[in-house]
Amino acid sequence: MITREDRVLRLTLNNPEKRNALDGAMCRDLVAALKEAGRDRSIGCVLLDAAGPAFCAGIDLDETLLPDAQERTEIHEQLFTFGLHYHKPIVAAVQGTVFGAGVGLIANCHVVIAAQGATFGLMEIRYGHWPFVTHRAVALAIGERRAVELSMTGRLFSTGEAREYGLVHEVTPPFELDDRATATAVQLATGSQETLRRGLDFVQKSREMSWETAGRLAAEYSERNFRSADLTEGVRAFREKRAPQWPSLHVK
Give the number of residues written for the chain: 252
Write down which residue in 189, 214, 234 finishes a domain. 189
Please tell me whether residues 117 and 208 are part of one structural domain: no
Taking residues 197-221, report their average pLDDT. Answer: 94
Summarize the confidence of residues 196-209 as an average pLDDT. 93
Number of domains in the chain: 2
Tens of pLDDT, residues 59-80: 888 776 665 666 678 889 999 9
User: Are the beta carbons of 161 and 103 closer than 8 angstroms?
Assistant: no
CATH number for 57: 3.90.226.10
**CATH code of residue 224:** 1.10.12.10
How does DSSP classify residue 250?
G
Domain containing residue 238: 193-250
DSSP H helical segments within the chain, as ranges? Answer: 24-39, 69-79, 101-107, 135-142, 144-153, 159-165, 177-189, 193-206, 211-226, 229-240
Rounded mean pLDDT, 125-129: 92
The yes-or-no verdict on residue 200 having pLDDT over 70 is: yes
Strand 156-158 relative to strand 119-121, pairing: antiparallel
* pLDDT the model gives residue 66: 61
pTM greater than 0.75 (yes/no) = yes
